[in-house]
């Protein structure tokens, strides 16, 4: 392992400033970063530990939403009574992620910033544009069972691994940041994660010199909330396909719907067209088919992951049947 310096940050602005140093990395729970360091995929020159900053509170906001500090642990967020009662989709998504031990350490901010689990990204003997820009993408013609079918590029077909972020996308969360001068910014989660394009190494809109301080949730939308995760084993596995759904349906008619998907793209995926197909429509197979068709518009398999197209369709049908059952 390459040697690195370690410092504890005294304030969020100092932590933000410290990230401007070449090779500097923020560490919070460390559940992803330490693995990456052990494999020499991340080789920071310095670690800035933010665990002592006062960013571990969950607070009500005046509009009826919640403000979640960046250092709130995944377990604490999932167990918070307000999250369980008003944002069930988020609580379930968190509990579907990782293992109990990891959830006890992993933080809200770190969860948003975790790196892909593409096998080739973790194998330094293989080409990977995300790890080593310009080297190629071994997954395109390789073993790509877990890879993306939407929003891909010829440079990268990796997926974003978070469950939490998928629920937050359905909830229209906003990411709050601070920079080295104390300037704050609010980034809608839809704009926080990026598609790979020709620069898959840039995964979020977070700039150097900025750190995440909180995530805010607007008041919960009306409707039944469901998080469904399909994976290779019942726990401690990443999603092949996941759906976060919030569907408001009365007497067989859908009034509104929000759908976000995990396991399909480089970022939590949302389809406005699919939601339009569901809005003010009867809750029946034809409507569900139209929504699935809209979600999968432009979907492309790469061999090993072709099955995700049919799996997404079936999973969405099942989730819509559950959320519209009267």
Q: What is the DSSP letter of 204?
A: B
Contacts (CB under 6 A) with ligand SF4, residues 275-294 = none
Q: Count other C-beta atoms under 10 Å from residue 51's C-beta.
A: 15
CB of 154 to ligand SF4, least distance (A): 10
CB of 141 to ligand SF4, least distance (A): 10
Q: Which pair of structure tokens corresponds to residue 156? A: 């990268």
> By C-beta, is 172 or 201 nearer to ligand SF4?
201
CB of 119 to ligand SF4, least distance (A): 7
Q: Which pair of structure tokens corresponds to residue 276? A: 């339009």
> By C-beta, is 28 or 158 nearer to ligand SF4?
158
Task: Collapse the DSSP code of 141 into the 3-class scheme (helix H, G, I; strand E, B; otherwise coil) and give the result.
Answer: coil
> By C-beta, is 220 or 263 nearer to ligand SF4?
263
> By C-beta, is 117 or 185 nearer to ligand SF4?
117
Contacts (CB under 6 A) with ligand SF4, residues 117-156 = 118, 120-121, 128-130, 137-139, 156
CB of 63 to ligand SF4, least distance (A): 38
CB of 186 to ligand SF4, least distance (A): 29
Helix (H) or strand (E) holding 16: helix 12-18
CB of 142 to ligand SF4, least distance (A): 8
Stretch that binds ligand SF4, among 116-124, 185-193, 269-277, 298-306 (CB under 6 A): 116-124
CB of 116 to ligand SF4, least distance (A): 5
> By C-beta, is 49 or 201 nearer to ligand SF4?
201
Give how many residues touch ligand SF4 by CB under 6 A. 14
> By C-beta, is 44 or 200 nearer to ligand SF4?
200
Give me Rg for the CA atoms of the chain. Answer: 20
List, edge to edge, every strand of the sheet that includes 66-69.
58-60, 66-69, 210-217, 174-179, 184-188
Cβ contact 90:83 at 8 Å? yes
Specify burial of residue 21 (Cβ count, 10 A radius: 0-12, 13-18, 19+): middle
Tell me the C-alpha to C-alpha distance, in Å, between residue 40 and each of 75, 122, 124, 131, 156: 28, 9, 8, 11, 21
> By C-beta, is 227 or 269 nearer to ligand SF4?
269
Contacts (CB under 6 A) with ligand SF4, residues 236-255 = none
CB of 140 to ligand SF4, least distance (A): 7
Q: Among candidates 31, 99, 111, which has minimal Cα distance to 237?
A: 99
Query: Residue 32 interacts with ligand SF4 (CB under 6 A)?
Result: no
Whole-angstrom distance, CA of residue 241 vs CA of residue 184: 34
> By C-beta, is 21 or 194 nearer to ligand SF4?
194
- The single residue among 114, 116, 323, 324 that binds ligand SF4, judged by CB under 6 A, is 116
Torsion of CA 305, 274, 196, 236, to 10 degrees: -50
Query: Residue 166 interacts with ligand SF4 (CB under 6 A)?
Result: no
Whole-angstrom distance, CA of residue 172 vs CA of residue 32: 25
CB of 2 to ligand SF4, least distance (A): 22
Q: What is the DSSP letter of 206?
A: P
Whole-angstrom distance, CA of residue 318 vs CA of residue 25: 41
Whole-angstrom distance, CA of residue 254 vs CA of residue 280: 5
- The single residue among 29, 69, 151, 200 that binds ligand SF4, judged by CB under 6 A, is 200
Specify burial of residue 53 (Cβ count, 10 A radius: 0-12, 13-18, 19+): buried
Binding site for ligand SF4 (CB under 6 A): 116, 118, 120-121, 128-130, 137-139, 156-158, 200
């Amino acid at each position: 392992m390459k040697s690195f310096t370690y410092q504890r940050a005294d304030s969020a602005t100092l932590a933000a400033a410290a990230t401007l140093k070449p090779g500097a990395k923020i560490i919070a729970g460390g559940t992803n970063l330490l693995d990456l360091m052990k494999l020499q995929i991340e080789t920071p020159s310095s670690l800035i530990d933010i665990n002592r900053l006062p960013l571990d509170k969950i607070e009500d906001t005046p509009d009826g939403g919640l403000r979640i500090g960046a250092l709130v642990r995944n377990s604490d967020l999932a167990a918070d009574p307000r999250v369980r009662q008003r944002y069930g989709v988020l609580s379930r998504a968190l509990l579907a992620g990782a293992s109990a031990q990891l959830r006890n350490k992993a933080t809200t901010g770190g969860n948003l910033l975790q790196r892909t689990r593409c096998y080739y990204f973790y194998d330094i003997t293989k080409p990977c544009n995300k790890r080593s820009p310009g080297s190629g993408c071994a997954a395109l013609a390789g073993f790509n069972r877990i890879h993306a079918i939407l929003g891909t590029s010829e440079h990268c077909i990796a997926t974003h691994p978070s469950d939490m972020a998928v629920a937050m996308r359905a909830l229209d969360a906003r990411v709050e940041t601070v920079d080295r001068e104390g300037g704050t910014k609010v980034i809608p989660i839809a704009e926080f994660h990026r598609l790979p394009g020709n620069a898959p190494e840039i995964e979020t809109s977070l700039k150097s010199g900025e750190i995440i301080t909180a995530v805010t949730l607007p008041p919960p939308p009306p409707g039944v909330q469901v998080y469904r995760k399909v994976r290779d084993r019942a726990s401690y596995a990443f999603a092949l396909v996941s759906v976060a759904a919030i569907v408001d349906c009365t007497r067989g008619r859908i009034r509104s719907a929000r759908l976000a998907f995990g396991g399909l793209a480089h970022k939590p995926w949302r389809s406005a067209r699919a939601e339009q197909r569901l809005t003010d429509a009867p809750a029946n197979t034809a409507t569900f088919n139209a929504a699935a068709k809209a979600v999968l518009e432009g979907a492309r398999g790469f061999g090993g992951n072709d099955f995700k197209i049919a799996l997404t369709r079936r999973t969405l049908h099942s989730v819509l049947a559950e959320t519209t059952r009267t």
